[in-house]
Structure 1
Amino acid sequence: MNHVRSVGMRKAARIAFVSMVLASAGFGVTACQSDPDIDITKLGLQTEPPEVLYNQGLANMKAGNLAEASRKFDAIERQNPFTEWGRKALVMSTFTKYRLGRNDDAIATGNRYMNQYPQSQDSGYVQYLVGLAYSKQIADVTQDQRAARSTIEAMTKVVNNYPDSEYVEDAQAKIRFARDQLAGKEMQIGRYYLERKEYLAAIQRFRVVVEQYSNTNQVEEALARLVETYFAMGIVEEAQTAAAVLGRNYPDSQWYADSYKLLQTGGVQPRENRGSWISRAGAKLIGA
């Protein structure tokens, strides 16, 4: 009888211990889950050494199971923070989250890595991944362009802080694309004001494109819209200047052809006023 009572007590102790571990991990334990032989690894608890988990993560990546790989890397970082294995796991966690399309999570993980290991051997790559995750969130120009601004900021860090890295060329391409999006947003708003005959507001938007986004694909139209807007306001000299700058930089542009025809309806031709802000901005254009 004493032997039976002792076995029963040991069994109850094991059940209580497993219940305590599961409860601390956030799992509710019901009566039917109180089997002393329960396999806690099936409940998502990663208990292997970090090197084992890391290799399991790589194996899952190779097999195309990115979600499981991400869980393995996350487990390493949780259980071994500020270690070499934890650092390596953060890199792979950022990558897998990006590949899974979990861009916000990838950004958060990547930024945590950059805060903890800004001078590490993988910091340039992680910063690049953060930029890629932002670039995937860039929306159509009719929508908010916050992600475009964040892309520029993140990729500029790649270019400036890691100038010899293999990611610089693509980072620069992503910056150009994001800048074109921002310029496109300004053009969209400018056209809206122009259609409503709110000319001063329209000019302000087109001016931003010419002065701040001179190396984007939006500049030709911005200059043409300035011709149209100033001409509609009766400020012919500025319209002529915008057309002259447009023609000098983009002589074969359809935008220039249309602007020239518009000026002809008023009996004038393109003529540059060197004192105009348009002339000063035009001197900085790629085609100048």
Structure 2
Amino acid sequence: MFAKASRSGLIAVSALMVAATLSACVGDRQRPRLVYEERPVELLYNTGFQRIEQRRWRDAVDYFQEVERQHPFSEWSRRAILMQVYAHYQNQRYADAIAAADRFIRLYPGSPSAAYAYHMKAVCYFEQIVDVGRDQASTNQALLALREVVRRYPNSPYATDARVKIDMVNDQLAGKEMEIGRWYQRQQQPLAAINRYRTVIDNEEFQRTSHTPEALYRLVEVYLTLGLRDEAIRNGAVLGHNFPGTVWYSDAYRLLTAEGAQPEVAPEGGTRRNWLSRILPG
């Protein structure tokens, strides 16, 4: 009688465990959750690494999280956090990758591997940059994170990569200013347009972007529209001195000569040069 009751109890408990397991999987139907079982740290870590090689990013994260939970004070735990950053990044789960990078930085700020965590955090923001027609919150976050890499690790390969990306980010932000300026110009709001174009011209970092020649040309356009001929000539001269071979100067030259001005520099002819041609000559 007692044996039967015990077996019935075990069956009931087993049914409850199965039900709990099934309910836990409802939110993630693509794969079962990793069942907790105390295992050697080397086994957990190596299995996670195998999942990385198999490009099974979410499974890899599960194993590396188990390393953290079961062996929190080991060197393996430290490595496991960085592997989670990498797996989340490869799976394009950027918010999770950034959170893991921040956790590593908080727990191990003096570790030599902190440079990698800062770098990956910046790259995750960089990967989320959208076209200039949309909000540039991620672009600004990427710029701050990339600058932090350069500031903390100026002589590292991460800083070299960050500097290239900073130029790209600045080009993006300058492009956003230009888009807004062109919109104001189309809406017959010349003063607001001038402020946007001048931001590109006056910002030292934006001055090195591909948008500077167009910003100078647009200023020539707007100042002529307002009847400010001297201002238009001055900006045309700056454009001709610095970018004589661009289409933007050719267009500005035609506008100015049509107004009776005589620019000192004749256009050389040529095409618009993008930021890449300046960073990587040839």
- TM category (shorter chain) comes to 0.7 to 0.9
The separation in 1 between residues aligned to 2:15 and 2:110, in whole angstroms, is 42
Superposition deviation, residue 197 in structure 1 = 1.5
Q: Do the aligned partners of residues 14 and 82 (structure 1) sit closer, same or farther apart at CA in structure 2, a change above 3 Å counting?
A: farther
Of the candidates 249, 256, 264, which is equivalent to residue 263 of structure 1? 256
For residues 1-288 of structure 1, the aligned pairs below 5 Å read 5=2, 9=6, 12=9, 16=13, 28=20, 43-47=33-37, 48-81=39-72, 83-212=74-203, 213-270=206-263
Q: Do the aligned partners of residues 185 and 43 (structure 1) sit closer, same or farther apart at CA in structure 2, a change above 3 Å counting?
A: closer
Superposition deviation, residue 139 in structure 1 = 0.4
Letter matched to residue 181 of structure 1: Q
What is the TM-score of this pair, normalised by structure 2?
0.81
Q: What's 2:26 paired with? A: none
The separation in 2 between residues aligned to 1:8 and 1:51, in whole angstroms, is 42
Q: Are 1:46 and 1:72, in contact at CA under 8 Å, matched by a contact in 2?
A: no
| Superposition CA RMSD, Å | 2.5
Letter matched to residue 151 of structure 2: N
Superposition deviation, residue 85 in structure 1 = 2.4
The separation in 1 between residues aligned to 2:50 and 2:33, in whole angstroms, is 20
The separation in 2 between residues aligned to 1:166 and 1:18, in whole angstroms, is 55
Structure 2, unpaired ranges of 5+: 23-31, 265-278
The separation in 2 between residues aligned to 1:82 and 1:196, in whole angstroms, is 61
Letter matched to residue 253 of structure 2: Y
Per-residue deviation, residues 112-153 of structure 1 (Å, max 9, x unmatched): 221222221211111111111111110011111111111111
Number of aligned residues: 253
Q: Are 2:257 and 2:263, in contact at CA under 8 Å, matched by a contact in 1?
A: no
Most deviating of 261-270 and 192-201: 261-270
Q: Are 1:131 and 1:155, in contact at CA under 8 Å, matched by a contact in 2?
A: yes
The separation in 2 between residues aligned to 1:82 and 1:237, in whole angstroms, is 70
Task: Using the aligned pairs only, state the percent identity.
Answer: 38
Structure 1, unpaired ranges of 5+: 31-41, 272-285
Describe the SS at the equivalent of 1:167: helix
What is the TM-score of this pair, normalised by structure 1?
0.80
Q: What's 1:278 paired with? A: none
Superposition deviation, residue 74 in structure 1 = 2.2
Letter matched to residue 221 of structure 2: E
Describe the SS at the equivalent of 2:260: coil
Q: What's 1:38 paired with? A: none
Per-residue deviation, residues 206-232 of structure 1 (Å, max 9, x unmatched): 011111111111111011111111111
Q: Do the aligned partners of residues 220 and 82 (structure 1) sit closer, same or farther apart at CA in structure 2, a change above 3 Å counting?
A: farther
